[in-house]
A and B are shown apart, each in its own frame.
Chain A
């Protein structure tokens, strides 16, 4: 635990060459988003009656939810299974999940035809318990709230006793401050209730996201159509959680010129080959049980994509991470975790797009430039917001001194130097 540093706002200039590119992409995506809102889906997308779902569902929503799984896996590891040394990566993972789900919802709003009705599932009069999507929707809504609640202590830590709203809002300073204190006290006692709830909710909707496509037995290619889809989705989400943390930690330390916490990352990378192996075992057993192995080498687009997904996205990183040398090198960790992320994201794209075969195909689907730009823009915006937040709030732990986490949580006010922006 010697190399465990307390989280602090990152001190680095917001603007850089990378952020300029991201801002440009975000603006382009925003323009496309606006275009879709004004002119409708027909004008902005290549969706039609055969292809009701495109990349906004497959990438923005399905892959987005999967890649936000780092939040709950890390919370489970550090807070439930009490692997305390991993507390340093809980906050970045939490932030990733929070932003990930936020942008999932923003992306979903673009895809919803009646986005202004998105709150309807909250009305008990419209609850439809048979619907998988209802469960996904409700779980995501609650989980998003839980994520924001879990983030509140970080806000409190940063601003408790230092609330200084600009201009005429100054009169609310005391109210906000006392509210932060209440939050801090309350959450200090009950945060674990929310942490467990977050894990349960994640398990539920990560798996249900897979159940979604089980309703289309005649449309989904047999390589992916299985009643085990929810189990596979949950297992792959758990497997991608740590690689996502590793990936983003290495990128962040590169970007912010911090020393990567290699030992921590190597530590959580230990779990990944095990989780991947379990996932792969279930996947293969399922294929064998359904007598679907013959489709693997049928040479179709689906079979090629399946081979890429499993070979490059599951087997390759599993093999890499089995090697202790690779686990202990930043390059090895980065390569392997990138491959896992690629594999799981590709799996979601495969399940929601590649495997989907309309019953009466008239044409194939390829996303329009608007769809691609909205997706790219959303990812860019997410990265920008992440960058902004870690520069405001104490998320990333990279200070040279060892700073036990409990000190940070219980006595945030005792570290005024952490508040400087």
Chain B
């Protein structure tokens, strides 16, 4: 080694500075991921929804979720108690009542929101969950290792897990009827909805229709389309007669959830420079300090 210790330590200091400079929030690398205007979307109009549960039945049939007969879904009482999507029911309809007037109520259909920038897909370490460019957030059970990080990540608490299965358990959630979309058909729930509370189309078209409805009947709708910007935008959009705090949908800001972690991740792994820099700095320190305390270093290469 021709470099003396002082010089090496100075190099190490420079390396540390480079490291510190490297590990910075990598905002520039987080391309804004706006929901594609051309992808498929569904508008859920809670004002038009009558809570008939036909969507639940259609979903159950389409996805072969359970053997429950159609008459199971004729019981409209169940919408009064809040339910969550489960591994055997990808969508549920819940009723919410106005605190001021108990007779005034509205029903909200819940399912995967199919975020434009889904937290579950960002979380999934094997890419089992992925955002399809046409809209659906798809799940590939073959890849899944069953870690359930997607369930931790989901800001809507949607993915459900087959805890009851010792082998081949799956994460279950609304598929957006991706196979039907591929055939040019609308999702099963949309197709069956009698009251057209669900409107299916290209996201921009659906958004325009939503805003048109708000403008045409300002008294009927709270002037906001939920999902237009929440969590960076979702493929499922909602209209409501009241503030969305009364619809059971979570209050979210406009930043896509994955940005929170990807900003950190991409900073640490920017082209592997920070880890390699740390490796180099530690190597230099190790080399520079060797022979300290009068000991001979044998193990170092």
Q: Which residues of A contact B (CB under 8 A)?
A: 37-43, 45, 47-50, 52-53, 76, 79-85, 111-115, 117-118, 120-121, 123, 126-135, 137, 188-193, 195-197, 199-200, 203-204, 207-208, 211-219, 227, 230, 356, 358-360, 362, 406, 409-410
Q: Is B32 on the interface with A (CB-CB < 8 A)?
A: no
Chain A hits for B143, CB < 8 A:
117, 120, 126
**Cα distance A195–B168 in the bound complex, in angstroms:** 39
User: Distance in Å from the Cβ of B98 to the closest Cβ of chain A?
Assistant: 20
User: Distance in Å from the Cβ of A78 to the closest Cβ of chain B?
Assistant: 10
Q: Chain B 233-266 against A: per-residue CB contact (8 Å), 1 yes, 0 no?
A: 0000000000000001010100001101111110
CB within 8 Å of A: which B145-161 residues: 145-149, 151-153, 155-157, 159-161
User: Distance in Å from the Cβ of B279 to the closest Cβ of chain A?
Assistant: 5
Q: Known: A114-B145, A128-B126, A212-B149. Contact between A82 and B292, CB under 8 A?
A: yes
Chain A hits for B299, CB < 8 A:
79, 188, 191-192, 409
A229 and chain B: residue at smallest CB distance: B264
Q: Which of A38, A199, A214, A406 contacts B264 (CB under 8 A)?
A: A214
User: Distance in Å from the Cβ of B74 to the closest Cβ of chain A?
Assistant: 25
Q: Is B125 on the interface with A (CB-CB < 8 A)?
A: yes
12 cross-chain CB contacts under 8 A:
A52-B149, A117-B126, A120-B126, A133-B149, A192-B299, A212-B261, A215-B119, A215-B153, A216-B152, A227-B260, A230-B268, A359-B155
Q: How many residues of B contact A (CB 8 A)?
A: 68
Chain-A contact segment, one of B43-51, B99-107, B184-192, B283-291:
B283-291
Chain A hits for B72, CB < 8 A:
none
B275 touches A200 (CB 8 A): yes
B282 touches A196 (CB 8 A): yes
Chain B hits for A212, CB < 8 A:
149, 152, 261
User: Distance in Å from the Cβ of B271 to the closest Cβ of chain A?
Assistant: 11
Chain B hits for A195, CB < 8 A:
286
User: Distance in Å from the Cβ of A124 to the closest Cβ of chain B?
Assistant: 11
Q: Known: A120-B143, A216-B153. Contact between A113 and B161, CB under 8 A?
A: yes
B146 touches A114 (CB 8 A): yes
**Cα distance A190–B297 in the bound complex, in angstroms:** 12
Q: Chain B 136-177 against A: per-residue CB contact (8 Å), 1 yes, 0 no?
A: 000000011111110111011101111111111100000000
User: Distance in Å from the Cβ of B154 to the closest Cβ of chain A?
Assistant: 9
B125 touches A121 (CB 8 A): yes
Chain B hits for A208, CB < 8 A:
265, 268
Chain A hits for B82, CB < 8 A:
360
Chain B hits for A118, CB < 8 A:
145
User: Distance in Å from the Cβ of B217 to the closest Cβ of chain A?
Assistant: 30
A216 and chain B: residue at smallest CB distance: B152
Q: Which of A121, A190, A214, A219 contacts B126 (CB under 8 A)?
A: A121
B163 touches A47 (CB 8 A): yes
Q: Chain B 92-120 against A: per-residue CB contact (8 Å), 1 yes, 0 no?
A: 00000000000000000000000000010
Chain B hits for A211, CB < 8 A:
261, 264-265
User: Distance in Å from the Cβ of B83 to the closest Cβ of chain A?
Assistant: 10
Q: Is B178 on the interface with A (CB-CB < 8 A)?
A: no
B125 touches A48 (CB 8 A): no
A196 touches B293 (CB 8 A): no
In addition to A43-B166, A50-B157, 6 A-B residue pairs with Cβ atoms within 8 Å of each other are: A79-B300, A113-B147, A128-B125, A196-B286, A215-B119, A215-B122
A153 and chain B: residue at smallest CB distance: B299
**Cα distance A123–B62 in the bound complex, in angstroms:** 33
B171 and chain A: residue at smallest CB distance: A113
User: Distance in Å from the Cβ of B40 to the closest Cβ of chain A?
Assistant: 23
A39 touches B166 (CB 8 A): yes
Q: Which of B123, B144, B157, B269 contacts A360 (CB under 8 A)?
A: B157
A199 and chain B: residue at smallest CB distance: B282
Q: Which of B124, B164, B285, B301 contacts A128 (CB under 8 A)?
A: B124
**Cα distance A277–B268 in the bound complex, in angstroms:** 25
Q: Is B84 on the interface with A (CB-CB < 8 A)?
A: yes
Chain B hits for A230, CB < 8 A:
264, 268
Q: Which of B123, B162, B165, B296 contacts A131 (CB under 8 A)?
A: B123
A137 touches B125 (CB 8 A): yes
Chain A hits for B167, CB < 8 A:
40
**Cα distance A188–B293 in the bound complex, in angstroms:** 21
B160 touches A49 (CB 8 A): yes
User: Distance in Å from the Cβ of A379 to the closest Cβ of chain B?
Assistant: 22
Q: Which of A52, A189, A216, A356 contacts B148 (CB under 8 A)?
A: A52
Q: Which of B25, B84, B161, B285 contacts A52 (CB under 8 A)?
A: B161
B301 touches A359 (CB 8 A): no
Q: Known: A82-B295, A216-B152. Contact between A360 and B286, CB under 8 A?
A: no
Q: Which of A41, A112, A115, A197 contacts B279 (CB under 8 A)?
A: A197
Q: Is B22 on the interface with A (CB-CB < 8 A)?
A: no
**Cα distance A26–B143 in the bound complex, in angstroms:** 32
B169 and chain A: residue at smallest CB distance: A113
Chain B hits for A227, CB < 8 A:
25, 260, 263-264
Q: Known: A49-B84, A49-B157, A82-B286. Contact between A215 and B148, CB under 8 A?
A: no
Q: Known: A47-B163, A211-B264. Contact between A192 and B300, CB under 8 A?
A: yes
User: Distance in Å from the Cβ of B278 to the closest Cβ of chain A?
Assistant: 5
User: Distance in Å from the Cβ of A34 to the closest Cβ of chain B?
Assistant: 11
**Cα distance A215–B275 in the bound complex, in angstroms:** 22
The list of the 3 closest CB pairs from A to B, nearest first, reads A113-B146, A40-B166, A134-B125
B85 and chain A: residue at smallest CB distance: A49
**Cα distance A202–B163 in the bound complex, in angstroms:** 32
**Cα distance A176–B162 in the bound complex, in angstroms:** 46
**Cα distance A131–B145 in the bound complex, in angstroms:** 14
Chain A hits for B166, CB < 8 A:
37-40, 43
Q: Known: A131-B124, A189-B301, A360-B84. Contact between A113 and B292, CB under 8 A?
A: no
Q: Is B201 on the interface with A (CB-CB < 8 A)?
A: no
Chain A hits for B161, CB < 8 A:
41, 49, 52, 113
B260 touches A217 (CB 8 A): yes
**Cα distance A148–B159 in the bound complex, in angstroms:** 37
Chain A hits for B268, CB < 8 A:
135, 204, 207-208, 230
**Cα distance A213–B161 in the bound complex, in angstroms:** 19
Q: Is B298 on the interface with A (CB-CB < 8 A)?
A: yes
Q: Is B86 on the interface with A (CB-CB < 8 A)?
A: yes
Chain B hits for A40, CB < 8 A:
163-167, 169
Q: Which of A38, A49, A112, A126 has the most CB of B within 10 A?
A: A49
Chain A hits for B275, CB < 8 A:
200, 204
Q: Which of B157, B162, B300 contacts A359 (CB under 8 A)?
A: B157
Chain A hits for B144, CB < 8 A:
113-114, 117
